[in-house]
């Protein structure tokens, strides 16, 4: 299956303009743009005398930490739906027998 090509968008992150392609639509692209710009501003306000590449790396580090933490939380609950369905089935069978 071939992926559809995304639409082109122009975004501005911390005063830098970029052209990107996305399949997720204008609203999503603007949300990502705003989020990333706010992350850069937050890190910039919390640090002193770092250059743009250092700030970008700190933002990437923060985002990677958040992503990995979220993945761990999600993986904790993977398969729980199947377990609940199995337990429900067993409970229903048990109740039918009585």
pLDDT surpasses 50 at 90: yes
Predicted model pTM: 0.68
53 alpha carbon, distance to own chain's centre: 22
Residue ranges per structural domain of the chain: 7-73
Check if the beta carbon of residue 20 is closer than 8 Å to that of residue 36: no
* Tokens read off for 65: 């930490």
- Reported as a pLDDT band with limits 50, 70 and 90, residue 80 is confident
Whole-angstrom distance, CA of residue 38 vs CA of residue 16 = 14
Instruction: Choose the weakest-confidence range: 1-5, 64-68, 78-82.
Output: 1-5
- Reported as a pLDDT band with limits 50, 70 and 90, residue 34 is very high
The CA R_g of the chain, rounded to the nearest whole Å, is: 22
């Amino acid at each position: 299956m071939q992926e559809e090509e995304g639409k082109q968008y122009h975004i501005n992150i911390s005063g830098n303009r970029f052209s990107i392609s996305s399949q997720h639509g204008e609203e999503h692209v603007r949300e990502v743009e705003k989020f990333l710009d706010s992350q850069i501003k937050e890190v910039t306000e919390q640090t002193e005398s770092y250059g743009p590449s250092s700030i970008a790396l700190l933002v990437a580090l923060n985002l990677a930490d958040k992503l990995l933490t979220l993945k761990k939380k999600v993986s904790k609950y993977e398969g729980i739906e199947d377990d609940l369905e199995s337990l429900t089935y067993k409970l229903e069978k048990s109740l039918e027998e009585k």
